[in-house]
Chains A and B, each alone.
Chain A
Amino acid sequence: MDYTGEHLLPGLLGHFFVTLSLVASLVATFAYFKSSQSKIETESFSWKNLARAAFITEAFSVLAIFATLFYIISNHLFEYKYAWQHSSRTLEVKYLLSCFWEGQEGSFLLWSIWHCVLGMILIRRSRQWEAPVMTVVSFAQVCLATMIAGIYFFNWKMGSNPFVLLRNEMDAPIFSQPNYLSFIKDGNDLNPLLQNYWMVIHPPVLFLGFASTIVPFAYAVSGLWTRKFGDWTKAALPWALFSAAVLGTGIMMGGRWAYESLNFGGYWAWDPVENASLVPWLTLIGGIHALLIYRHTGHSLRATHFLFLITFSLVLYSTFLTRSGVLGDTSVHAFTDLGMNFQLLAFLFVFLIPAFVLFARRYRDIPHIVKEEQTSSREFWMFIGSLIFFLTSLFIMIATSLPVINKIFGSNFTMGEDAVFSYNRVIIFVAIILGILTAVTQYLKYKQTDPKFFRNRIFWPTIVSVLISSLVLALGGINYQDHGAGFLGAIWLAMVCSIYAVVANTAYIWVGMKGKLKLSGGSVAHLGFGFMLVGILISSSKKEVLSWNTSGIFVPLGESKITGKAGENLTLVRKVPATMGNYHVTYESDSVNPNKPLWYYRIHFANKKSKEQFTLMPNAFVNYKGNEGLMANPDAKHYWDHDVFVYITSLPDPEKNKDTTSFRPQTLNTGDTAFYTNGFYVLEDVKEETNIPAGGLAPDDKVYLATLKVFSKNNTSYTSKPFLINKGGTLFAVPDTVTSENLIFQLNNVEGNKVDLAVKEPNTVLQYVTLKAYNFPFINFLWAGVIMMVAGMIISIVRRVQLNKADREIENLTL
Chain B
Amino acid sequence: MKKIHIALLVLIAVTIAVLISFMGTLSTYDTVESAMKKKGKTVSIIAKLDRNRPIEYDAVKNPNYLSFVAYDSLGGNMKVVYRKEKPTNLEHSERLVLKGKMNDDHFECSEILMKCPSKYKDDMNQAKKNLQENAVAPPAKNSSTQYQ
* Chain A residues within CB distance 8 Å of chain B: 84-86, 102-104, 166, 169-174, 180, 183-186, 188, 191, 328-330, 332, 335-338, 372-373, 375, 380, 383-384, 387-388, 391, 394-395, 398-399, 402, 412-417, 419, 422, 426, 549, 554, 556-557, 560-563, 565-571, 573, 592-597, 622-623, 625-632, 649-652, 654, 765-766, 768, 770, 772
Contact = CB atoms under 8 A, between A and B. Distances in A.
13 contacts: A172-B131, A185-B134, A191-B119, A329-B115, A398-B19, A412-B29, A560-B56, A560-B67, A562-B65, A569-B63, A626-B118, A629-B90, A650-B63
B101 to A, nearest CB: 8
A765 B58 CA distance: 10
B41 to A, nearest CB: 9
B85 A415 contact: no
Nearest to B114: A332
Contact of A414 (B19, B28, B65, B138): B28
Contact of A399 (B3, B22, B63, B132): B22
Contact of B134 (A184, A415, A772): A184
B89 A414 contact: no
B62 A563 contact: no
Contacts of A649: 63, 85
B105 to A, nearest CB: 11
A365 to B, nearest CB: 20
B26 interface: yes
Contacts of B44: 414
B127 A417 contact: no
B92 A417 contact: no
A338 B124 CA distance: 10
Contacts of B56: 560
Interface residues of B, number: 70
Nearest to B136: A183
Contacts of B7: 384, 387
Contact of A186 (B60, B116, B128, B139): B139
Interface of B: 2-4, 7-8, 11-12, 14-15, 18-19, 22-23, 25-29, 42, 44, 46, 56-65, 67, 83-86, 88-92, 97, 99, 110-111, 113, 115-116, 118-124, 127-128, 130-135, 138-139, 142-144, 147-148
A187 to B, nearest CB: 9
A427 to B, nearest CB: 10
Given A387-B7, A557-B61, A570-B63, A416 B26 contact: yes
Contacts of A630: 88
Contact of B85 (A183, A554, A627, A770): A770
Given A336-B122, A594-B142, 17 more contacts: A85-B127, A86-B121, A169-B124, A174-B132, A185-B139, A188-B127, A329-B97, A398-B22, A413-B27, A562-B62, A566-B64, A570-B63, A627-B92, A631-B88, A650-B57, A652-B59, A768-B59
Contacts of B138: 183, 185-186
A380 B26 contact: no
Given A184-B134, A596-B144, A625-B139, A569 B88 contact: no
A265 to B, nearest CB: 11
A420 B77 CA distance: 29
